[in-house]
Structure 1
Amino acid sequence: MGDSVVHETASCYAFARFGREWRLCMIEHPRLGGELVPGGHAEDREDTLTAAVREVLEETGHRVRLLPPPLPEGYPHSAAPSVWHVVSMPAAADSRCDRRHVHRDHIVVGVVDRPFAVHGTPEYTSHWVKRSALDRLDLPEDTRLLAAELFGVIDGAAALRPRPAVDEALGAELLRRQEEDQAVRLVPVAERTPELMERWRAVDEANTAWLGEVIAARGWPGEALVGQRAAGAAWLLAQHADRRPDFQRECLELLTAAVTAGDADPQHGALLEDRVLLAQGQRQVFGTQLMQGPDGTLVPHPVRSPDEVEALRAAWGFEPLEAYIGQVSAGIR
């Protein structure tokens, strides 16, 4: 009889791409001990999907985007985010119930498109773990088993569905605009006249306005829609949309979602992440944005975690900072 009290709970297995590798968000739970995926009780009149998103935000500071369970390859319809599994788990007395009871746990799977963006003050310490680390962590066995299974399916679950038809005309226009963008930027510094700088401004403003129209009509122009080269051109136009910071932030959200879906280059997401962070007065993550140091040489703008930046650059396929600075310095001489 003591287990007849049932509480509705939600647990979220939240994944993020670190370069081209998936990692899973875990929290260190001070009361229960060990590590867990984020989750908790649904509040009054709160559905379990909403509860899962709220718990991830409160416990980790991350905004998670829930996924539907995988459908067969080629399935023609879009699926909505939903609960993947429902399990009943015995629970000891706690602050919500003074006797043994049951948690009816609604398990959902989601993605965090920007794992370095933290919103609010997290309730717990959280970190991102690789598949290879699961066996070394202090995890409940059910969490370990399900996490290992989900690592095997997350790539397909997060993939772009349905894939759009290729738009060759849009891809060609993106590449044309990329050529214009680069033509003004590749002029040597000594030859940059006021007329050129005005042309530079006009090209950026025209490209930004045009990209905004494309996004409003078609969404982010990713690799499936326009091909790999043209998708890179879309990133470049967003990278140079500095005069419209609100739009540039919108592009970052769309581009990082495309990276999660395997529809954009992870390095492009990292480069735009650093650009937007600096525009917001924050420290960058990957050290991709450089400035002149006191002695006139190029140095990175301040980075968030100097001790981790080289490991992060390696995970995203960037060269070490010293080599990167040398390449950029050679290119601007």
Structure 2
Amino acid sequence: MIKESTASAFLFHVDGDGVCRTALVWHPRLEEWLPAGGHIEADEGAAEAAVREVREETGFDAELLPGPSLALPAGFPHTAPVAPWWVVEMDACADNHTREPHRHIDHVFVARVHERGADEGAVHEVRWFTEQEASEAEGLAEDSRLQLKALFAMISDGSLTVAA
């Protein structure tokens, strides 16, 4: 089975009214609302790919929020990139990268934007969802809905801060 590394990011913003929303993109081939994401290029890491994909697909500049991870030992001589929140393996149908069924190893990040203006330059339709809207939206991928439910719960209980 062919396996390809991908990166995606759940993008959040807290509006002036205090309401937290997440931006999802309409994936025209899959016909679903998904977090921005795509393949990791040969010259970038997963975190870099997530930021690039958010910019390409939504037009927004994302700030990645570090996922849960262990601190490096004192004196460790290397830099750690921003850790993903999840790494998941999922079946993928043929696409423009691989012409046969394969698997994506997706590095899932959480990010925020400071300004939620127009999505200029976006290559996909972008929609901002409240927690309630995400729980009820038609066409939202079920795995994304489950991840959003967990993330919104963490925002509600204060264990995840997405406000700038």
What's the TM-score once normalised by structure 1's chain length?
A: 0.43
Give 1:17's aligned residue: 14
Q: What amino acid maps onto 2:122 in structure 1?
A: P
Q: Distance in 2 between matches of 1:44 and 1:100?
A: 21
More relative contact order, 1 or 2 (CA 8 Å, 6+ apart):
2
Structure with the largest fraction of helix: 1
Structure 1 distance, partners of 2:122, 2:45, is 22
Q: Distance in 2 between matches of 1:53 and 1:13?
A: 11
Q: Which amino acid aligns with 1:33?
A: E
Counterpart of 1:128, as a letter, is W
AA partner of residue 121 (structure 2): T
Task: Specify which of 2, 17, 31 is matched with residue 5 of structure 1.
Answer: 2
CA distance in 2, matches of 1:5, 1:132: 37
The answer to whether the 8 Å contact 1:68/1:82 transfers is yes
Deviations 1:140-172 (A, max 9, x none): 11110011110111343227xxxxxxxxxxxxx
Unaligned runs of 5+ in 2: 70-79
What letter corresponds to residue 133 of structure 2 in structure 1?
A
Alignment of 1:1-333 (within 5 A): 4-18=1-15, 19-69=17-67, 81-116=82-117, 118=119, 120-137=120-137, 138-154=139-155, 155-158=158-161, 260-261=163-164
- Alpha-carbon distance in 2 for matches of 1:30, 1:103: 18
Instruction: Give how far 1:45 is off.
Output: 2.3
Distance 1:135 1:69 in 2: 23
Aligned residue number for residue 248 of structure 1: none
Kept after mapping to 1: 8 A contact 2:47/2:81: no
Determine helix, strand or coil for the equivalent of 1:113: coil
Q: Which has the higher strand share?
A: 2
C-alpha distance in 2, partners of 1:36/1:47?
21
| Structure 1 position 69, deviation (Å) | 2.7
* 1:92 to partner: Cα distance: 1.1
Moved segments of 4+, more than 3 Å: none
Q: What is the alpha-carbon distance in structure 2 between the residues aligned to residue 44 and residue 70 of structure 1?
A: 25
Preserved CA contact (<8 Å) 1:16 1:24: yes
* Number of equivalences: 150
Distance in 1 (CA, whole Å) between partners of 2:85 and 2:34 is 18
2:76 corresponds in structure 1 to none
Task: Write the deviation string for residues 75-97 of structure 1: whole angstroms up to 9, x where unpaired.
Answer: xxxx9732111000011111111
Could you tell me how far 1:117 is from its partner in structure 2? 5.3
Three-state SS of the structure 1 residue aligned to 2:159 is helix
Aligned to 1:166: none
Q: Which has the larger radius of gyration?
A: 1
Percent of aligned positions with the same letter in both sequences? 36
Two-structure CA RMSD over aligned residues (Å): 1.9
- Structure 1 stretches lacking a partner, 5+ long: 72-78, 160-259, 262-333
Residue-by-residue CA offset, 1:172-213 (whole Å, 9 max, x unaligned): xxxxxxxxxxxxxxxxxxxxxxxxxxxxxxxxxxxxxxxxxx
Matched residue of 2:50: which SS?
A: helix
